[in-house]
Chain A
Amino acid sequence: MSIRAHIRSISSHLPEKVLDNAALCRQYPDITPEHILKHTGVAKRHVSVFMESGPDLAGAAAKKLLAENNIAPHEIDYLLLCSMEPDHKAPSTACLWQHRLGLPTSAGALEFNLGCSGFIYGLSLARGLVETGQAKAVLLAVGEAPTKVIHPEDAHLAVLFGDGGGAALVSAAEPESPSGIGDFVLGTDGSGTSIRVRGGAGREHADQEWIDKYKAVGGLPWGRMEMDGMAVLRFVLATVPGLVEKTLEKNGLGQDDIDLFIFHQANGFVLNTLCRKMGIKKERFYSNIQDCGNTVSASIPLAMSAALAQGRIKRGDRLLLAGFGVGHSWGATVVTW
């Protein structure tokens, strides 16, 4: 009998330090907390401390997943780690976390960098590994610290982004269980430049000139994020409704068959615009952006964790998950919980 992969459990982690809109506005006297909430949907965001990296947040979420679900590290035979920022050029951060999490040396470990669609791509890989019998228990950990690549003068980014991590355990579902991971629709358009992090890597490394230029704000050694809001909105409106439609079609479902739509928490305005354009009922459209902002690849597992904690997801519910953004890269699937 063929193997069907499902998400066995999910956990998330947010750094301790919280920056609410009132605190943020002390840096930006021209804007008000109400203005931020109204235009981005964000009320507060969590901020990592110095030298606490995106992979650290992914690792913390993975640790929490193992502890919360009484899963022994030796049960894991594959680690997938997604973050924009590797800790070292080599070795891969996934290898470091195999050791830190106490996973067996017989486990595979692979790191990838994708951004907002990273969790969806990770699920797609995990499903493939489980259903082809290459792995029995895949730990997918995602973590991002976008606040480290935001120049303080870029208020439009500082109000929107937050740091965080998420983890999911993907394994074979019991034959009688309804839960599973459906078919995926994926896509890429590498010509899209609406979101970028300049500097801090190979082709555009933080050389002396760069560090000197940003000396007053700590040198921005990890790079500087740039985002063209209009171009992002255009990309999202042109791509996501079709992505959702194709994903429903591929899984033989209609919009009414979905119990909860959980999208990458890009921006409250963008999410509302999408919901309206696609005619999705508000009670079936989940958002937690107000509590943690846009956390890049961590936003979907953070939203799923919050929805589970609030009782918004029940056993057997069908969830349409969609990630989209930097790349441009996008992907979606239907998960039965």
Chain B
Amino acid sequence: MDVEGFIQKLEEEFDELAPGSLTPDTVYAQLEEWDSMHALILLALVDFEYGVFLEVDDILSAVTIGELFDLIAKKAGL
């Protein structure tokens, strides 16, 4: 599991996003398409793929995709 794999899965789930539009430095809350539904999709994806429940605060505290991935990896004990 690495950040590139995470980004690929995110781009598959958020079907408005073209492949290659996310990087580890993307500030995801500032994506034009980002809305509260994406937070739910993200939560479901992370539960399904990594067996980790994100808290609302986790999503708010991590600014970039890379930071979010580090948080997931830490929670998943990887």
Q: Tell me the A residues contacting B by CB distance below 8 Å.
A: 39, 156, 229-231, 233-234, 237-238, 269, 273, 276-277
Contact = CB atoms under 8 A, between A and B. Distances in A.
A230 B39 contact: yes
Given A233-B44, A234-B43, A238-B53, 11 more contacts: A229-B36, A229-B40, A230-B43, A231-B56, A237-B44, A269-B37, A269-B41, A269-B44, A273-B44, A273-B48, A277-B48
Nearest to B36: A229
Interface residues of B, number: 11
12 contacts: A229-B40, A230-B39, A231-B56, A233-B44, A234-B43, A234-B53, A237-B43, A237-B44, A237-B47, A273-B44, A277-B47, A277-B48
Nearest to B53: A234
Contacts of B41: 269
Contact of A237 (B37, B39, B53, B56): B53
B36 to A, nearest CB: 7
A105 to B, nearest CB: 50
B75 to A, nearest CB: 14
The majority secondary structure among interface residues of chain A is: helix
The majority secondary structure among interface residues of chain B is: helix
Contact of B37 (A39, A273, A276): A39
B40 A269 contact: yes
A233 B40 contact: yes
Contacts of B48: 273, 276-277
A231 B56 CA distance: 8
Given A39-B37, A277-B48, A230 B53 contact: no
A18 B41 CA distance: 29
Contacts of A277: 44, 47-48
Nearest to A237: B47
